[in-house]
Amino acid sequence: MRIELEKRPKVSALYSILSPFIAFALTIVFGGIMFALLGKNPVAALYSFFVEPLSEVWSLHELAIKAAPLILIGVGLSVCFRSNNWNIGAEGQFIMGAIAGSIFPVVFYEWQSPLMLPLMLLLGMVGGALFAAIPAFLKAHMNTNEILTSLMLVYVAQLFLDWLVRGPWRNPQGMNFPETRSFGVDAILPEMLASGRTHWGFAFAILAALAVWFMMRYTLRGFEITVLGQSERAGRFAGFSSRKMIWFSMLFSGALAGLAGISEVSGAIQQLRPVISPGYGFTAIIVAFLGRLNPLGIIAAGLVLALTYLGGEAAQLSIGVSDKVTRVFQGLLLFFVLSCDTLIHYRIRLVRERFAALKTDEAH
């Protein structure tokens, strides 16, 4: 006996909408069972996961801060993935964007000007895009596998940042600790609202999502991305160049990752350190697929994922579960969402193993 996934002839519109809710319900049921088995009150646990972080203003701000880079990178990646280009190295582009954007506040730290921030953001995008240009060039002209090259460049970026903050960019007044100067006032991305810490990075994320949504839906470019992604041959007949698309999609996603990088550094960290991202570039891949590669879906997905991080912390405190349990719970949620989505497009079929029966026949 064997289990096969078989493509459904028709995708149910109703279940496409219901699927996230079913997944959520399943998570609650199984998560509740898990908490009960651990001897914790399931209601209190689920409350601290999903409600507590939303019940206070400061916590909503934290949610926006955590979600902003995920959404911004995820939106860029969705364009890439839709056009059938697999940029796995957003983490590296995030870091290189942050480095490029930090040139002015770190090296020319005495320069004060209202032009500082716009310049930093621009350089951040350029830095991310240039770093993504490496796998784009290699794929477009040498036919290399961009999954491999973009992924491996992440390590290059991480080590380059590490070298910078321990070497040439180390803060001369920092007691030899590996970090750059703190950014000046002009170089700090301001807060959006008076009520909390959310900086403009969150606005960039939402604007980027709306812009990409518009592009995918109403422009020729969006059509080109979709066609080339689904069938390169069909795209060629329509006069689209897949080589140009490689360049466009990689540079675009790289630029958004770079913007996320400099926004995070300028808005939240305010200096460079050996590690500036807890893996946003990789988590954003999950966010992109969780949002079904739809920019508006990605906003929701980014917020949900950020919520589970915050909820995990709240649960550690209020009911005293370990950090590992909260990770398992996060995994449960992702598992159910992705498997429910899979079952919209595929159905499970049990195939009886006939091979074994044949073999015994031959023996006679």
Partner 1 sequence: MKKLLLALATTTAVLGFASAASAQEKAKICFVYVGSKTDGGWTQAHDIGRQQVEKELGDKVETQFLENVPEGPDAERAIERLARSGCGLIYTTSFGFMDATIKIAQKFPDVKFEHATGYKTAPNVATYNSRFYEGRYIQGQIAAKMSQKGVAGYIASFPIPEVVMGINAFVIGARSVNPEFKIKVVWANTWFDPGKEADAAKALIDQGVDILTQHTDTTAPMQVAAERGIKAFGQASDMIAAGPKTQLTAIVDTWGAYYVKRTQAFLDGKWETTSSWDGLKDGILTMAPYTNMPDDVKAMAEATEAKIKSGELKPFTGPLNKQDGTAWLKEGESSDDATLLGMNFYVEGVDDKLPQ
| Token pair listed for 144 | 């290399």
Nearest one of 302, 295, 257 to 68, comparing CA atoms: 302
Farthest CA pair distance, the chain: 90
Enumerate long-range contacts of 221-225, CB under 8 Å, 24 or more apart: 221/248, 225/79, 225/82, 225/83, 225/249
Of 13-21, 75-83, 225-233, 266-274, the segment contacting partner 1 by CB under 8 A is 266-274
248 versus 309: smaller Cβ distance to partner 1? 309
DSSP for residue 35 = H
DSSP 3-state helix, strand, coil percentages of the chain (rounded to 5)? 70, 5, 25
**Alpha-carbon dihedral of residues 75, 81, 85, 90, nearest 10 degrees?**
40
Query: Residue 275, interface with partner 1 (CB under 8 A)?
Result: yes
DSSP-assigned beta bridge partners for residue 6: 347
- Chain centroid to Cα 129, Å, comes to 16
Quick one: which H or E segment has residue 3?
A: strand 2-7
Closest distance to partner 1 from the beta carbon of 269 (Å):
6
Among 162, 192, 247, 334, binds partner 1 (CB under 8 A): 162
Task: Provide the strand spans (E) within 134-236.
Answer: none
21 versus 58: smaller Cβ distance to partner 1? 58
For residue 239, give the 3-state DSSP assignment. Answer: coil
Query: Residue 192, interface with partner 1 (CB under 8 A)?
Result: no
13 versus 175: smaller Cβ distance to partner 1? 175
- Between CA 143 and CA 148 the distance in angstroms is 12
- Chain centroid to Cα 64, Å, comes to 14
Of 103-111, 160-168, 210-218, 237-245, the segment contacting partner 1 by CB under 8 A is 160-168
Among 20, 74, 178, 302, binds partner 1 (CB under 8 A): 178
Query: Residue 55, interface with partner 1 (CB under 8 A)?
Result: no
Closest distance to partner 1 from the beta carbon of 159 (Å):
9
Query: Residue 325, interface with partner 1 (CB under 8 A)?
Result: no
Of 101-109, 137-145, 205-213, 269-277, the segment contacting partner 1 by CB under 8 A is 269-277
Query: Residue 43, interface with partner 1 (CB under 8 A)?
Result: no
Of 13-21, 74-82, 246-254, 322-330, the segment contacting partner 1 by CB under 8 A is 322-330
Query: Residue 176, interface with partner 1 (CB under 8 A)?
Result: yes
Contact 131, 149 (CB under 8 A): no
Q: Tokens 């990088």 sit at which residue?
A: 261
For residue 4, give the 3-state DSSP assignment. Answer: strand
Of 70-78, 108-116, 176-184, 250-258, the segment contacting partner 1 by CB under 8 A is 176-184
**Alpha-carbon dihedral of residues 25, 27, 32, 34, nearest 10 degrees?**
160
The interface with partner 1 within residues 292-321 (CB under 8 A) comprises 309-310, 313-314, 316-318, 320
Site string (60-99) toward partner 1, x via CB under 8 A: --x--xx---------------------------------
| Token pair listed for 55 | 């019940």
Binding positions for partner 1, rule: CB under 8 A: 56, 58, 62, 65-66, 162, 166-167, 175-178, 182, 194-195, 264, 268-269, 271, 273-276, 278, 309-310, 313-314, 316-318, 320, 322-324
